[in-house]
Amino acid sequence: MKNLALVGIQWGDEGKAKIIDHLAETSDVVVRFQGGNNAGHTIVVGNEKTVLHLIPSGVLHKNTINVVGNGVVFDMGVFLHERDSLIAKGVDVGPSRLKVSEICHVILPLHQLLDRARETSKTKIGTTGRGIGPTYSDKAARLGLRIGELAYPEKIRPTLKTWYDEKCVHLKNLGHEEIPSFDDLFNQALAHFKKVEPHLVDTSRFLHDLDRKGKRILFEGAQGTLLDIDYGTYPFVTSSNTSAGFAACGSGLSSSQIGYVLGLTKAYTTRVGSGPFPTECQGADEETGKLIAKKGNEFGSTTGRARRCGWLDLVALKRAVELNGVHGLALSKLDVLSGIKTIKLATHYEIDGKRTQDFPNFWIHEPKAIYEEVEGWPEFPGTQKESDLPSAARQFIQRLEEYTGVKVAMISTGAKRDEMIVRDSKLLHKS
Ligand code: IMP
């Protein structure tokens, strides 16, 4: 098993960073391929917590090279801040082990203003306010700025000025009056660029070269499949394709080089921001939802917002498994459900009086989740041994496998780095 893609198969926040950190030990390169600093990836080593938004989660392993691929939208200020915080912790983040694609699209301050200004209009998505949507919109509209272009300031200045003037009109129409001047914006971008420049390369060629040399590449997904711009709960989604297929486009490798796809789910479901959530704990389940939120520390690592909590949704998971071509599942936060007497799993939706196992494409009528109940389990310690798991927890895992048709290959049993059961040891080997 050489290359591997890890993707979240819910609405994000599945605990990807911990799994990446684990797999990075035997990987040569970790690549981010979509999203931007809307992601918040938390790694706990000993008692120290590191939250990464833009830099790949392999960075704490000193032998791993970390690559920000072309599919990522790139906030230079955030990158520099994150890089400098890692330097302060003694982590080597020099250009030889931290590479950024020269063709990443740049998030500029006006993108953030637009993101926030649009949130006050009629469809409130509950975005992270980081400028992700407006930057991807400009990319698709062929109005974007690719980071490497900042090496030619005089060439790009007139085009960027036209772009700036258009955005100012747009912002004013949305009621936003305080806008930084063009010169301030341009000079700040150039100053940031000078510091980012040593990290810039053609990451596609760089990765092809490493792949040819037999190096192991780990693709790090951000957000989750249910936030995918095509197949998520549109329009309550993020602005990129979050599924494994995009690992190729967003890194400049080919789809045949992706290899094994590991799909990560929590033992329950969470969602931040607005949008449909059929298994959300409401009514009689509201207290259980609060308990899960507290025990699972379900607060966003990017915005600090409380996450909405609900039961595991097998209907959605099965669709996500199919969309990503998941070879194996990783399961996180199983320990959080310990102590709950009866656990629910959604096996069907009821839409317009009809039962279905199909995850819908349209969300005009919010589905009612139909549940199966299983026995809960007592508390268990963070462990690496499957035999430490209570039998009801093992039955829960078995039901998940039966429904999705995919085996659970990894189980995270606590927040710490070593609290992990690896059922498929191939995951930790290059070949
Ligand atoms: P955006 O990506 O900031 O445009 O936000 C769009 C939607 O995706 C909002 O509902 C966000 O809360 C959600 N979202 C974006 N990034 C993440 C993430 O890393 N985890 C969970 N939800 C996210």
Banded pLDDT at 234 (limits 50, 70, 90): very high
Per-residue pLDDT, 121 = 67
Query: Which phi and psi (to 5°) does residue 372 adopt?
Result: -115, 140
Determine the atom of ligand 1 nearest the C-alpha atom of 35: 2
Q: Are 291 and 395 members of one domain? A: yes
**Amino acid in the structure at residue 24:** A
Which residues face 99 on adjacent strands? 67
Pick from 405, 384, 327: nearest CA to 3: 327
Q: Are 64 and 184 members of one domain? A: no
Q: Please name the residue whose Cα sits nearest to atom 10 of ligand 1.
A: 273
Going by their DSSP bridges, the two strands 98-101 and 73-74 should be labelled as unpaired
Where is the domain boundary, 231, 261, 291?
261
User: Does position 430 have pLDDT exceeding 80, yes or no?
Assistant: no
CA distance 395 to 5: 27
Output DSSP code: residue 346. E
Which residues face 421 on adjacent strands? 411
Q: Are 296 and 384 members of one domain? A: yes
Q: Are 365 and 400 members of one domain? A: yes
What does the radius of gyration of the chain's CA atoms come to, in whole angstroms?
22
Total residue length of the chain: 431
Q: Are 178 and 41 members of one domain? A: no
Token output for 312: 């595991």
CA distance 264 to 11: 11
- The stretch 214-226 carries a mean pLDDT of 97
Q: What are the tens digits of pLDDT across the range 280-317? A: 999 999 999 999 999 999 998 777 888 999 999 999 99
Q: What are the tens digits of pLDDT across the range 5-34? A: 999 999 999 999 889 888 999 999 999 999
Per-residue pLDDT, 273 = 87
Residue 418 appears among annotated catalytic residues: no
Residue 13 appears among annotated catalytic residues: yes
Q: Are 190 and 211 members of one domain? A: no
Q: What is the CATH number of the domain that holds 424?
A: 3.90.170.10
CA distance 90 to 166: 43
**Average pLDDT across the chain, whole number:** 95
User: Does position 233 have pLDDT exceeding 90, yes or no?
Assistant: yes
Determine the atom of ligand 1 nearest the C-alpha atom of 127: 5
Q: Which of 75, 127, 309 maximizes ligand 1 atoms within 8 Å of its Cβ, making it the mutation to test the pocket?
A: 127
User: Does position 431 have pLDDT exceeding 80, yes or no?
Assistant: no
Q: What are the tens digits of pLDDT across the range 363-413? A: 998 899 999 999 999 999 898 999 999 999 999 999 999 999 999 999 999
Q: Are 411 and 323 members of one domain? A: yes
**Amino acid in the structure at residue 275:** G
Q: Indicate the SS3 state at residue 207.
A: helix
**Amino acid in the structure at residue 9:** I
Cα(88) to ligand 1 centroid in Å equals: 28
- The stretch 224-242 carries a mean pLDDT of 97
Determine the structural domain holding residue 52 and report its residue range. 4-101+199-261
Q: Are 224 and 345 members of one domain? A: no
Per-residue pLDDT, 278 = 98
Given 13, 21, 211, 335, which residue is catalytic? 13
Pick from 272, 312, 308: nearest CA to 290: 308
Q: Which of 34, 78, 223 maximizes ligand 1 atoms within 8 Å of its Cβ, making it the mutation to test the pocket?
A: 223
Query: Which phi and psi (to 5°) does residue 309 adopt?
Result: -120, 150
**Which residues are within 8 A (CB) of 356 and not within 5 positions of it... i.e. 6 or more apart?**
315, 348, 349, 350, 367
User: Does position 1 have pLDDT exceeding 80, yes or no?
Assistant: no
Given 21, 28, 41, 228, which residue is catalytic? 41
Cα(428) to ligand 1 centroid in Å equals: 30
Q: Indicate the SS3 state at residue 329.
A: strand
Q: What are the tens digits of pLDDT across the range 346-362? A: 999 999 999 999 999 99
Q: Indicate the SS3 state at residue 313.
A: strand
Q: What is the CATH number of the domain that holds 86?
A: 3.40.440.10
Cα(271) to ligand 1 centroid in Å equals: 9
Proportion of the chain above pLDDT 90, given as a percent:
86
Q: Which of 272, 307, 308 maximizes ligand 1 atoms within 8 Å of its Cβ, making it the mutation to test the pocket?
A: 272
Q: Are 110 and 240 members of one domain? A: no
Q: What is the CATH number of the domain that holds 113?
A: 1.10.300.10
CB atoms within 10 A of CB 376: 16
Which residues line ligand 1 at a C-beta cut-off of 6 Å? Answer: 11-13, 38-40, 125-128, 130, 132-133, 222-223, 227, 236, 238-239, 272-273
Question: Residue with structure tokens 């959080």?
Answer: 336
Per-residue pLDDT, 47 = 81
CA distance 361 to 268: 22
Q: What are the tens digits of pLDDT across the range 119-171? A: 876 778 999 999 999 999 999 999 999 999 999 999 999 999 999 999 999 99
Question: Of all residues in the chain, what percent are helix, strand and coil, respectively (each to 5)?
Answer: 35, 20, 45
Proportion of the chain above pLDDT 70, given as a percent:
100
Q: What are the tens digits of pLDDT across the range 109-124? A: 999 999 999 887 677 8
Q: Please name the residue whose Cα sits nearest to atom 21 of ligand 1.
A: 12
Per-residue pLDDT, 425 = 86
Cα(237) to ligand 1 centroid in Å equals: 7
How many domains does one find in the chain?
3
- The stretch 227-242 carries a mean pLDDT of 97
Q: Are 276 and 416 members of one domain? A: yes
- The stretch 331-342 carries a mean pLDDT of 96
CA distance 130 to 304: 14
**Which residues are within 8 A (CB) of 135 and not within 5 positions of it... i.e. 6 or more apart?**
36, 73, 105, 106, 107, 108, 111, 144, 239
Q: Are 302 and 404 members of one domain? A: yes
Q: Please name the residue whose Cα sits nearest to atom 9 of ligand 1.
A: 127
CA angle 354, 358, 362 (to 5 degrees): 85
Q: Are 10 and 68 members of one domain? A: yes
Q: Indicate the SS3 state at residue 282.
A: coil
Per-residue pLDDT, 333 = 96
